[in-house]
Amino acid sequence: MIRVLIFDDNEDRRDSLALLIESVSDFAVSGALSQANNVIEKVAILKPDVVLMDIDMPGTNGIEATRLIHATFPSLPVIIQTVFDDDDKIFQALKAGAAGYLLKNASSKVILSAIREVLHGGAPMTPAIAQRVLTFFRNEKTVKPDYGLTDRETDVLRLLTQGNSYKMIADQLEITFNTVNSHLKKVYEKLQVHSAGEAIAKSVRDQLF
């Protein structure tokens, strides 16, 4: 028996979901609640296998509730639902630990298969949302911090990150050891670091190259 806990402040939505879930022989409603305040206590008492979570509720909202559930019951899957196809909220919900995401216009068939899917480790999403999440990550990756390095300073930092010594950098760029040194001094200043090691760590972390 799959026990489903519903959070939604809209009474019709709650009622219709409960009716749908009770209409399937191996599903049961463990609770249908209008708000997610004290969500951990509620989950502990109602012991669901899956949570269906609305985003916009008075009091604790669905994203915060998901974060709390995920922190205390990491293996309990939460499926987020909302009428808004809002990139930012979708992303926040997934970062908060939601296992899947459905828009409220999903048919009952899609809702039921989403519940089965999360229990088998899947991540149900409508194709449009999956596309948006991918786009989000793609955009995320291309945003590199701009430290205002000159072309020469960038060359020096790149060679340093590739494992070259000061001497090797000087040879490759056909400049003197001292010039390398003064370029690096500026690089450290701009990156706000104090050593070659830190500069390398920062440029790798920020995916500068």
Near another protein by CB under 8 A: residue from 44, 47, 72, 84: 84
User: Which residue has tokens 């990150």?
Assistant: 161
Q: Which is nearer to another protein, 54 or 153 (CB)?
A: 54
For another protein, which residue of 111, 156, 170, 180 counts as binding (CB under 8 A)?
Answer: 111
Query: What's the CA gap between 103 and 115, in Å, rounded?
Result: 14
Are residues 129 and 87 in contact, defined by beta-carbon separation less than 8 angstroms? no
Q: What token pair was written down for 45?
A: 């008492």
Residue 64 touches another protein, criterion: CB under 8 A = no
User: Quick check: 108 binds another protein (CB under 8 A)?
Assistant: yes
Site residues for another protein, window 32-51 (CB under 8 A)? 34-35
16 lines the binding site for another protein (CB under 8 A): yes
Hey, how many other C-beta atoms are within 10 angstroms of the C-beta on 91?
Answer: 16
Which distant-in-sequence residues (6+ apart) come within 8 Å of 83 by Cβ?
103, 104, 105
Chain residues binding another protein by CB under 8 A are 8, 10, 12-13, 15-17, 19-20, 23, 34-35, 54, 56, 58, 82-84, 104-109, 111
